[in-house]
Structure formats: structure tokens, C-alpha cells
A = this chain, B = another copy of it.
Amino acid sequence: MTQVKLYDTTLRDGMQGQGMSLSAAEKVRVVQALDGLGVQLIEAGFVGSNPKDAELFELLRGVDLEQADVCAFGMTRRRGVAAEDDAAMRELAECFAPVCTLVGKTWGLHLEKVTRVSRTENLGMITDSVCFLVGRGKRVVYDAEHFFDAWREDYEYALECLRAAVAAGAENVTLCDTNGSSLPFQVGEATASVVAELGDRVEIGIHTHNDAECGVANSLEAVRAGARLVQGTMNGFGERTGNANLASILPALQLKMGFECVPPDRLRRLTETSHLVDELCNLQPDPDRPYVGRNAFAHKGGMHAAGVQADARTFEHIEPGLVGNSRDVLISELAGRGSVQSRAEAAGVDLDADAAKRAVERLKEREHRGYQYEAADASFELLLRREAGTYSPLFRLEGFRVITEKRANGKVETEATIKIWVDGQRFLRTAEGNGPVNALDKALRSAITELYPHLAEIDLVNYKVRILDTHHGTGAVTRVLLDSSDGSGETWGTIGVSENIIEASWEALVDSLEYAFQPREQKDRATREGTEVTAGH
């Protein structure tokens, strides 16, 4: 089977979308999930553009990936400066990433109106930049910005830009439909012409946007025309109307067009990977999303359901399990007994058949109330432990009270008082905080750590709030997701759901500490890390 490489730019181009933002630690989780899915090339960020991306590359240097290569993104050298004297180019060269992706101009209109660089100098910028990085041992992808507009207006110059990159040693030239202006037949035609010219000397890639709602189709047409690398983002994140959606491109290439992108068992991780990225971005996974949405294989009418019983092909375009989705839309893919049991095993929890059945019931009931465990693996493990009878409660709550006051001078103060029982002892503690959850956390921790000092090391690294039913504004149900980590670098996610944001936060907070408190053998922990690919790790 012919191989087509996937190149993910969720962490760079995807973050250009409105309101998108991820911390460096969250980005590492995305990289790990994409690696687990089998994505070969993962663009982590724009080197040298900001301290956050610098921190990310620093973190990534220490992460062991299964198979993916990290790519660092940058622009061709500045005008009138030698590549080795350009600070941004040097940062690229010094970055640990084995692959550097350079974007450069290809369209005369941009040279005239935007950068005011001559056509000749632009070619020099491409040559020098690629040469410099190849000379420093990098594999280079050249992103030909606005390629398709350029191709329509001045094919020869566009091709010259590509040739410059190839001659300088780029291993790939990627044709970018930067404005998203092109339709599938245009992309197919232009790509075929480039493949005919350069296909024997370099790998051709494709990078499209969704401005004409053809981002996916454009990528597929380019592959039909000979492109062998597809750039896109998970869930189509990106500025304006988004980038080409890798979550739809991957299954089409592999299941409908007969290309090989990732091993079939990794393809099954597609749905959970898509949802994880949504959750990390604090977005509700779109239920109508192709392949991975909850409604993607929903069957409404009785005739549909009966047809699917008789032969799934009657109403389903692919077998949902191939991408890790499922036919039954009302419960998530977790809520089958088999999957619950395999999850339990991965978490080192002994769950017999009865307990598994109870866990499934409990899970369904909680999902119905708004819980979602995709990014809350620690809460999910606690749920399993409760049913398995291996759950040890950390404390018993007698009550808490949180007071937030704002004075006429504008000063805001928050204090929390908790009354809890730990190991038969009663603790009454009050703490101040810069918000209600912070105050509750401090009060709870000041009591608990007297007996369990190691729980002091836990850091609350992320806190997300989502309102589930937006029809009732601030009176709706609130879902809180909390990510915690300990000194060792392990990170876990917990969830709380309530009409009251403070109650929901409290639940997630308590789960976080309880998870860390559960007795586990080190071995179990290791097995778990190795076999589980769900959210939260």
C-alpha cells in the first residue's frame, strides 16, 4: 500500500483560531496523543516567536515519543541578512526538533504588496534558509505560501520557488492554499502539474484551509494527484474557517482510498484523540463532526435501525469501530462492559463481571447528568475502584463554607472553612485564597497534609469550567475539569458536575486528592502509562 504521511499543525496553525489557547503542558499532552494516533510529523510551534513556545520545546526535548518527529516552524531568513546572522534561523538550527518547516513567499502579489521583496531576493531567501538548516543537519519541509493563487497567476515563478527549495536540500515541498480559495479540481490539477515537474526529486505535501468548505476534499484530491504528505489540524482548528481537518482526512485516505497512513489499531484511537484535543481546548466535541462525532453514526428512524441490524452497509458509510466511534450514540464508547473491563485492567483495578455491570450503569447515569470522562481519567478510575471495592476514602466531609466579600474600596476577599474527619480525627480549618476554589483547596490541604504530607506536593495545573446547558445562563449545570500533577511529572484529570460551580469545583478537587491517595503499586502505574491512551496522560 502506498504510504501518505500525516503532518499535524494543531499546535501552531490550529492555535491561530479564535480564542484558542493551550498551556505548554497541555501541548505536550496533544503531542503524545498525536504520536499515539500514529501521526508522523507534529509541528509544535513557531520557534523564537514567544516564550511559551520556547518553554514547550524545552519540555518536548525530554519527552519520549513512540514514533513521531517533532517539527519546528519558522520563516525564511530576513531580507538582506545572511541566514547564519538571522537570530530566528539560528534558533531553528539550535532547536532539538529534527525537522524544520520553513514558510516562504511564492506569490508575486505578496512580494509586491506585502513584503516588498524582489523576486530574485525571495529565491535567495529560500535557498539560503534551506541550505543553512540542511547544513546544520535538519530535515527541511518548505511550505510554499499561497501556492495555488500563485500557480493561477504565474506558474513559472511559483515553480521556481519550489525548485529553489528542492535544490537547497528540502526533503518536502508543501503546496499551501493559504487563503483557502481553491476548489478540489483546481488543487488536483495544480498538484498534478507539480508532481509531474518535481515528483521524482522531492516529496510533495499539501496544506489547505476550509474557507470554501473544501479543506478535506482539497487534501484528498491532492493525494490523488500524487501528494504524499498532508498537513492539517485535529478537528480542523485554525484561523477564519479553520484548517483542513486531519480527523476526516485520515479515515478517508485509509478506509476509502486505500492509502496507508497509520496502523489500523492506531486508527481506532481517532475518536478519543479528537475529543481529547477538544477537551484540552475547553470545547465541547461537536456531535455532528464526521467520523468522530456522537451523531456521526446515529440512527434515528426504526427503518434505519432495522436496516443496520440486517446489514450495516445499508445505512453506514464505514464501520464506526474502525475509527473508535460506535453506533450507539446515547452512551459514549466507554460505557460498554468490555471496554470498562479493559480500562479497569489498564488501571490495575480488579473488576469482576458484577462490578463491571454496576460500573457501566453508574457511568451511563453519570454521563446522562453531564459527566464526561474522556479528560478525567482519575475520576473514572475512582468510579471503577468504588465498584470494585478497592476504593479508600481519604476523609469524610462534615461541611464547608466559602465566603467571598467585595468592599466599597474594591478589595475582594475569600475565605473557606472546612470541617472534615481524617482517620477518626476531626479537623476544622480556615484558609484565605484568591478565589473560592483556591481557598477551599488550601483549607482542605492544611488538614489532610498533617497526616499525609506527600499530598502537599500536588499542584493544580489546570482548571476548566464549562456551562452545559446554555439556555439558562448562570443557572445552568456547570462542569469543572481539573488537571493535577505531582512532583514526578504524572498528570491526572478529574471532573465535577453541579448546578453550583463551587460544588462542582469541590468534587473535582476532592477526586484529585483521592486519586493521589489511592494505594497503587509502582508496577501498576507503569503498566497503566504504557497501555492506556485515554485523556489525562
Residues of A within 8 A of B (CB): 16-19, 21, 23, 25-26, 109-110, 113-114, 149, 179-181, 183-185, 210-218, 220-221, 224, 239-242, 245, 248, 252, 256-257, 282, 287-291, 293, 295-298, 300, 303, 306-307, 310-311, 313-318, 330, 372, 374-375, 397-408, 412, 414, 433-438, 441, 459-468, 470-471, 473-476, 478, 482, 484, 498-503, 505-506, 509
A293 B412 Cβ-Cβ under 8 A: no
Q: 14 interchain pairs (CB within 8 A)?
A: A18-B330, A25-B470, A113-B310, A149-B313, A184-B220, A211-B290, A213-B216, A214-B217, A399-B405, A400-B406, A414-B500, A463-B474, A465-B467, A474-B482
Nearest CB of chain B from residue A330's CB, rounded to whole Å: 8
Measured CB to CB, the nearest residue on chain B to A500 is B435
With a CB–CB cut-off of 8 A, which chain B residues contact A303? Answer: 114
With a CB–CB cut-off of 8 A, which chain B residues contact A18? Answer: 287-288, 295, 298, 330, 374
With a CB–CB cut-off of 8 A, which chain B residues contact A459? Answer: 473
B474 A438 Cβ-Cβ under 8 A: yes
Nearest CB of chain B from residue A246's CB, rounded to whole Å: 11
Partner among B23, B306, B473 whose Cβ is within 8 Å of the Cβ of A114: B306
Partner among B26, B241, B438, B502 whose Cβ is within 8 Å of the Cβ of A296: B241
List 17 other contacts, CB 8 Å, given A436-B501, A438-B474: A16-B300, A18-B298, A19-B375, A21-B468, A180-B317, A210-B290, A211-B296, A239-B298, A397-B406, A397-B408, A404-B436, A406-B503, A438-B473, A460-B473, A463-B467, A464-B467, A474-B482
Nearest CB of chain B from residue A293's CB, rounded to whole Å: 6
A404 B405 Cβ-Cβ under 8 A: no
With a CB–CB cut-off of 8 A, which chain B residues contact A484? Answer: 473
B185 A221 Cβ-Cβ under 8 A: yes
A241 B289 Cβ-Cβ under 8 A: yes
Partner among B181, B466, B475 whose Cβ is within 8 Å of the Cβ of A434: B475
A307 B113 Cβ-Cβ under 8 A: yes
Complex CA distance for A114 and B114, rounded to whole angstroms: 60
B412 A503 Cβ-Cβ under 8 A: yes
- Once A212-B256, A310-B113 are accepted as A-B contacts, the answer to whether A240 and B288 lie under 8 Å apart by CB is yes
- Once A183-B257, A257-B183, A408-B397 are accepted as A-B contacts, the answer to whether A109 and B241 lie under 8 Å apart by CB is no
With a CB–CB cut-off of 8 A, which chain B residues contact A499? Answer: 434-435
Complex CA distance for A69 and B408, rounded to whole angstroms: 52
With a CB–CB cut-off of 8 A, which chain B residues contact A314? Answer: 109-110, 113-114
**3 closest residue pairs by CB, A with B:** A460-B473, A217-B217, A181-B317
Nearest CB of chain B from residue A440's CB, rounded to whole Å: 8
Measured CB to CB, the nearest residue on chain B to A146 is B314
With a CB–CB cut-off of 8 A, which chain B residues contact A315? Answer: 179
Measured CB to CB, the nearest residue on chain B to A224 is B185
- Once A406-B397, A412-B500, A498-B412 are accepted as A-B contacts, the answer to whether A240 and B297 lie under 8 Å apart by CB is yes
Complex CA distance for A30 and B407, rounded to whole angstroms: 39
With a CB–CB cut-off of 8 A, which chain B residues contact A406? Answer: 397, 399-401, 503, 506
Complex CA distance for A240 and B298, rounded to whole angstroms: 6
Complex CA distance for A463 and B477, rounded to whole angstroms: 11
Nearest CB of chain B from residue A141's CB, rounded to whole Å: 21
Complex CA distance for A295 and B181, rounded to whole angstroms: 15
Nearest CB of chain B from residue A76's CB, rounded to whole Å: 14
A217 B184 Cβ-Cβ under 8 A: yes
Partner among B180, B184, B252, B473 whose Cβ is within 8 Å of the Cβ of A212: B252
A399 B408 Cβ-Cβ under 8 A: yes
Partner among B114, B282, B288 whose Cβ is within 8 Å of the Cβ of A307: B114
- Once A311-B113, A403-B403 are accepted as A-B contacts, the answer to whether A412 and B502 lie under 8 Å apart by CB is yes
B19 A435 Cβ-Cβ under 8 A: no
B404 A399 Cβ-Cβ under 8 A: no
Measured CB to CB, the nearest residue on chain B to A306 is B114
Partner among B248, B313, B474 whose Cβ is within 8 Å of the Cβ of A109: B313
Complex CA distance for A350 and B435, rounded to whole angstroms: 38
B437 A474 Cβ-Cβ under 8 A: yes
With a CB–CB cut-off of 8 A, which chain B residues contact A471? Answer: 23, 461
Nearest CB of chain B from residue A13's CB, rounded to whole Å: 12
With a CB–CB cut-off of 8 A, which chain B residues contact A240? Answer: 288, 295-298
A213 B474 Cβ-Cβ under 8 A: no
